[in-house]
Amino acid sequence: DSGVTQTPKHLITATGQRVTLRCSPRSGDLSVYWYQQSLDQGLQFLIQYYNGEERAKGNILERFSAQQFPDLHSELNLSSLELGDSALYFCASSVEGGPNYGYTFGSGTRLTVV
């Protein structure tokens, strides 16, 4: 157990639907990062939050949004889902706002859009 908790572990939904992925960071970590992993694209950075505020944004689609709550857990919202959104979605956390000391990843949410 890495200390980063992601729910749900698996999600199957239809095109056009909206889903919410949840992440609880490791105790004491202030930063939360969301990544998308697909077979052909590898690990792609989506967005980072640090202590409740958006810190950095990667190649996140406009249909996707995220937030970090006062208790530091984060949610990634995916809407108007398309078949191509099927992927593994990982949350990672770190104690500081930068990457130099590495990230702790959760076990991921496998999203299947049918």
Q: Cβ of 109: how many Cβ atoms within 10 Å?
A: 21
Considering only residues 2 through 61, tell me which ones interact with other proteins, judged by CB under 8 A: 2, 4, 33, 42-43, 45, 48, 55-58
- Write down the least CB distance from residue 98 to other proteins, Å: 5
Q: Does 103 bind other proteins (CB under 8 A)?
A: yes
**For other proteins, the closer CB: 54 or 82:** 54
For 69-85, the DSSP string reads -TTS-EEEEE-S--GGG
Q: Does 95 bind other proteins (CB under 8 A)?
A: no
Q: Does 99 bind other proteins (CB under 8 A)?
A: yes
Ramachandran category for residue 28: left, alpha or beta (phi over 0 → left; psi -120 to 50 → alpha): left
13, 21 contact by CB (below 8 A): no
Residues that bind other proteins (CB under 8 A): 2, 4, 33, 42-43, 45, 48, 55-58, 90, 92, 97-108
